Amino acid sequence: MIPKEIQEDNSSKSVKNFLKGFHSESTKESYCKKLVQFLEFHNNMAADKLLQKAKKNPKTVQHMIIDYIEERKSKVSGSTLQQTRAALKHFFEMNDIEEGINWSKISKIIPHAKKTGSDRAPTIKEIRLMLELADIRTKCVILMCSSSGIRVGAFDGMTWGDLSTFYQKHDGEKTMVAAKLTVYKGEQEEYTTFVTPECYCILEQYKRSRESVGERITPKSPLIRDSWDNNQYRKDKRKKPRAARPLASKTIANMMGEFLKKINLREADSDIHEFKQIHGFRKFFKTNAERACKTIDVEKLMGHTENYYKPSLDYLLAEYIKAIPYLTISETVELKDKLKQQITISDKKVGEIERDNISLQDRLNRLESSYGSLKEILENVLLARTKSK
């Protein structure tokens, strides 16, 4: 949510210009908070006054920024201060202050951000525990993220119309093999990925639970919605079952964080965690999909652009299907694979026994044949001796 200081400053031209240059709501929210914190540090200075100072003497503002960094760098991380620098640079650029502030010098004063990427993906056992303890909506989020690798921001604006199923004939029967998911539909970053049959099955259960309380779901209905209250006398319409409101990505992230603490997969009093509350599932997807697919195809399914690589949808689907056994969380598939392996081993052993039996029978036949020949020779020798006597 944009800070109220920014929302209430409707008359500020500098703030209006500042708010124009965003394509992402999450970035806008973050930059607004950083700008407000900076202004509060300098005696609640108004944004327009800061702009006037920059126009009159940019070096004064540069010193203000450096003072802020020096004061804050022992209290917050380097990445947080880099965001502050980015927010302030954006503020001045959108208000046509492009010279006079040495942003390179400011960057050098900011401490290096701590190394990222050391967190791991959740294990399949951990995800199984999550699914065992989660409600139906949280299960949908977990399975969508782990089977498609989408970012949490993809949930913003996602509707049922973004999902469609693929079927294949097997033994004369049609079987759902995967569901296509259009991510960031209508935006520049739009791309296509898939979810597993396991995930789609849970989504269908979630859909039925919503329809059972009177919600009419159409292709434009939010895929993941707010919770509802079955109390028919409640005046708050936002909680009525039929009135579906999309669940914001930030709410989903917070919901997952609280859920992980509740089931003891995350420490409540720590900022350092073994895996990210949502992004960890993206790492799970990449790690496991690459067990069956080429890296370039996995990157495509994760929405990473590659200007010269344009595989067809049918090809991507065929590649994704190969990865489904590694992306399915349920133990059913794993048990089926183990059963297949045991049957294969048993068949192999039966085959070996049959081959041994055939070999033994062959040896027995040869021995019987040799015995018959030897018997005939002995009989002839005895007959010859008898006649000589």
What DSSP string runs through 3-66? -HHHHT-TT-HHHHHHHHS-S-HHHHHHHHHHHHHHHHHTTT--HHHHHHHHHH-HHHHHHHHH
Give mean pLDDT, residues 258-280.
85
Residue 222 backbone dihedrals phi, psi, to 5 degrees: -60, 140
Architecture of domain 124-329: Orthogonal Bundle (1.10)
Residue with structure tokens 């520049």?
188
The mean-pLDDT minimum among 3-7, 15-19, 54-58 falls in 3-7
Q: How confident is the model at residue 260 (pLDDT cuts 50, 70, 90)?
A: very high
Model pLDDT, residue 364 = 77
pLDDT, tens digit, for every residue of 327-357? 999 886 555 555 566 666 766 676 777 777 7
CB atoms within 10 A of CB 356: 10
Using alpha carbons, select from 54, 50, 53, 55 the residue that is nearest to residue 40: 50
Residue 77 backbone dihedrals phi, psi, to 5 degrees: -80, 160
Q: Is the pTM of this model over 0.85?
A: no
Domain ranges of the chain: 4-109, 124-329, 338-389
Q: How far apart are CA 273 and CA 292, in angstroms?
A: 29
* 3-state SS assignment for residue 175: strand
Model pLDDT, residue 336 = 55
Q: How far apart are CA 114 and CA 117, in angstroms?
A: 10
pLDDT(145) > 90: yes
Residue with structure tokens 């006597």?
389
**Would you say 158 and 193 are in contact if contact means Cβ atoms under 8 Å apart?**
no
Q: Which long-range contacts (CB under 8 A, 24 or more apart) does 302-306 make?
A: 302/149, 302/193, 303/150, 303/151, 303/183, 303/184, 303/189, 303/191, 303/193
